[in-house]
Homo-oligomer: A and B are copies of this chain.
Amino acid sequence: MSKKYVYSFLEGNRDMRDLLGGKGANLAEMTHIGLPVPQGFTVTTEACNEYYHQGKVIWKELRDEIFEHMRLLEKETGKTFGGASNPLLVSVRSGAKFSMPGMMDTVLNLGLNDQVLETLIKESGNARFVYDSYRRFIQMFSDVVMEIPKSYFDRKFDEVKEEKGVKADTDLSAEDLKEVVALFKNIYKEAEGADFPQDPHEQLIEAVTAVFRSWDNPRANLYRNENHIPHDLGTAVNVQSMVYGNMGDDCGTGVAFTRDPATGENNLFGEFLMNAQGEDVVAGIRTPMSIDQLKEINEDIYKQFEDVCHILEEHYKDMQDIEFTIEKGKLYILQTRNGKRTAQAALRVAVELVEEGKISKEEAVLRMEPNQLDHLLHPAFDEKALAEAEVIAHGLNASPGAASGKVYFTADSATEAAKRGEKVILVRTETSPEDLEGMISAEGILTARGGRTSHAAVVARGMGKCCVAGAGGINVREEDRFFIANGKQYPEGSVISLDGSTGYVYEGEVGTRPPELSGHFATLMEWADSYRKLEIRTNADTPRDALQAVAFGAQGIGLTRTEHMFFEGPRIKAMREMILSSTTEERKAALEKLLPYQREDFVGIFRAMKEMPVTIRLLDPPLHEFLPHTDREIEELAKEMNLSPETLKAHAESLHEFNPMLGHRGCRLAITYPEIAVMQTRAIIEAAIQVKKEDGINVHPEIMIPLIGELKELTYLEPIVRGTADKLIEEAGVQLDYLYGTMIEVPRSCLIADDVAEVAEFFSFGTNDLTQMAYGFSRDDAQKFINDYLEKGVFERDPFVTIDQTGVGSLMDMAVKLGKKVRPDLELGICGEHGGDPESVKFCHRVGLDYVSCSPYRVPIARLAAAQAAIEEEHGKTDHSSK
């Protein structure tokens, strides 16, 4: 028997989404549970794929199968498609597995032609309704099937309304609409050079073809790329017998959510219009009525609809988004699907469904999209205020949240203004580590250059500050203290507002509302924690970050970057002296100055983290990052170091690297200058001893050596680090346990992980670097072509956002297996941006890590993703597809 490509609604069910698409599966399901669904059939997604396989033609067998189902539908409805009496009209709608903008929309009233028109007028006695249906059909068919611009028809329709002196389309008479039909047919003829097609079967095949064709249009392709939907799913086509909301004032059509999609409140929420069809409700031609008003118009229908809502929610165990039509006082359901909702609503609905006994806690945890939590953790603009604000620029939504303040263009001026009590927005062409203090002082950061992984974006996300990055339309003139946006100058002190969740920049101050972290949020997170197996740590370089992360549920620090500590005030001077020393003795003297600062930092962090583990990475970046850039800075430093500016400059230049990412950094610094590792170890251990003695806290430091690629790097440093640490501990006479471990961030370390594990007590995967090295491109430089790669389908995802499981993931898997073989209790974690990406967190769970570490504001997201991973594993869910 040949393959079946068409299913009647009676044959399908909700589990057949792959084959029938979401819409078709739900229409079939609703048919089964006895809801009033106009009958019809679905042409499968496999038919769509076969259409492309055959070279974009509807082959004969499919035609026959469709027509056969049309005959069955005629039988069922007692009507005849294109018939001389009791004619059957149908709607044709696309329906892929995932709802997708860009796909072909609806064609209503298909089957109408000049003859059927006459029959229908005669049989219904309602010429106005029939002409209205015909003009709609001609417009929709022309638009979505033949691609004749909709605006041609809209313009003509408006002209007629104007001519007739009416506002609402319902005020047009049958005669008027007859005129419209004639005009519309003319537009068609002009555009296509042929009369409007009169054969209903050909209309049908054309419409089905148009749906298939729309699967491959640019907008749909783009959407699939952006949402990681495979291109080979195909779309189904639903053919459904028409019911009419436009037959008079006892007819109507509407859409409703079973709960409020903005807040999640358990109330029907929706709109409808009487004597209307299809898109009228959203088209803004007439102002639709709230669903509550239906009660007043037809209490019985309202009750019926309420019942349907209850039934569907009970059945689908989720908030539904339902389309309905009332035909002469009878209710029909045209579609149901899980309703889209805001983060806040998603949270409330999930929690309340559990409270109502409709779903389990596990299900609630699985329902919440972890990334959505991000919106709840930051202040957001008040929606009303936002609607009135003037957009002056648009950049990347680099770090969520909302902030208003006065603009400043340098770290210093920003810091000073903040000290004066001003709310500050730091505006820079791009930021560098030296802007750190300014970023700390600011409410939000705006840059003209840089992507989602630029310095500004990464640091801002780490701090939970809002950031709009790479707003290409603005021109920042730091030295002249103004920026230009939208053709207007904004001098220092001008007030602007940033929406880091959308990337929009507004003029003036826009009111905000604070995040809400108790209530439903707390409840869901508590449930999540009860399933989660992964530990969630945070990346934190300051006590403040550490405390924020603990408030968000962090269970330790997975990464403290010691280098960030060296940029402030007198520290940077000592750091520069250290780097520019020409002898070991000079270097030691400079390090001696840095020691107290560093120790003090660690004391603060250890106190904040109590007895939780704190992983501290030794100095990592190439040294020239710390060097003075301007001539003035060089002169100042030269004076202090008793050197000529020329000497200093020459030394600084000698530190230049062609590829800093692949240069003298990480453990290589500690190996060439072991005294740096000694100083840092001293600072860590002395701080731990101090906190133990003064506060009685059993600190758990984990000393992390970065960028190991060769076992001997680790064994060379081990006696230096352990020697220093153990001596201090012995001298202090305290009990203090610490771990000696490494970052796994260059591919070679994964290949020799068994050897590395002989020495390292823990691995922390640095998947940013691992991604950079595995692919051979750097975050900073790859932005130039990654977008192009995404557009051209070379990449499905940006590997800096979500771990590349095939490549980087297999290196991780290798390292985990090799490491565990040698040291079964090896502690395994990940630090860096991927640690806060839900898909990546789930991968970390599956690959067998002990913890993930992410920036403080990603901690709740990671907690939820980790819980989902554990539940999915428990349920043996192995489908890791993205949607």
Contact = CB atoms under 8 A, between A and B. Distances in A.
A716 B785 CA distance: 14
A155 interface: no
B769 A747 contact: no
The residue among A751, A752, A795, A804 with the most chain B CB atoms within 10 A of its own CB is: A751
Nearest to A771: B748
A807 B773 CA distance: 14
B658 A658 contact: no
Contact of A709 (B658, B671, B746, B774): B774
A775 B663 CA distance: 10
Contact of A671 (B748, B774, B789, B807): B789
B793 A712 contact: yes
B710 A794 contact: yes
A662 B664 contact: no
Contacts of A751: 774, 806-807, 810-811
A666 B804 CA distance: 20
Interface string A751-786: 110000000000000000100111111101110110
Nearest to A809: B751
Contacts of A808: 748
B773 A776 contact: yes
Contact of A663 (B713, B773, B784, B794): B784
Nearest to A710: B794
Contact of A659 (B659, B745, B794, B806): B659
Copies of this protein in the complex? 2
Contacts of A789: 668, 671
A843 to B, nearest CB: 15
B660 A661 contact: no
Contact of A781 (B657, B672, B784, B785): B657
Interface size class of A (residues with CB under 8 A): 35 or more
Contacts of A778: 658-659, 662-663
A666 B713 CA distance: 31
Contact of A776 (B658, B671, B707, B806): B707
Nearest to A774: B748
A745 B785 contact: no
Given A658-B661, A658-B781, A664-B784, A775 B792 contact: no
B709 A781 contact: no
Contacts of A785: 664, 668, 671-672
Interface string A437-458: 0000000000000000000000
Contacts of A709: 774-777, 807
Interface in A705-750: 707, 709-710, 712-713, 716, 745-748
A147 interface: no
A671 B773 contact: no
Interface in A489-504: none
A306 interface: no
Contacts of A707: 776
Interface string A833-867: 00000000000000000000000000000000000
Contact of A746 (B658, B776, B793, B794): B776
A339 to B, nearest CB: 35
B659 A662 contact: yes
The residue among A660, A775, A804 with the most chain B CB atoms within 10 A of its own CB is: A775
A709 B773 CA distance: 10
A812 to B, nearest CB: 11
A751 B812 CA distance: 12
A658 B663 CA distance: 12
8 contacts: A658-B660, A668-B777, A671-B788, A671-B789, A672-B788, A746-B776, A747-B747, A748-B774
Given A752-B807, A773-B773, 17 more contacts: A657-B780, A659-B660, A659-B781, A660-B781, A661-B776, A663-B782, A663-B784, A666-B776, A671-B788, A671-B792, A672-B785, A709-B776, A709-B777, A712-B794, A713-B794, A748-B804, A751-B806
Interface of A: 657-664, 666, 668, 671-672, 707, 709-710, 712-713, 716, 745-748, 751-752, 769, 772-778, 780-782, 784-785, 788-789, 792-795, 804, 806-808, 810-811
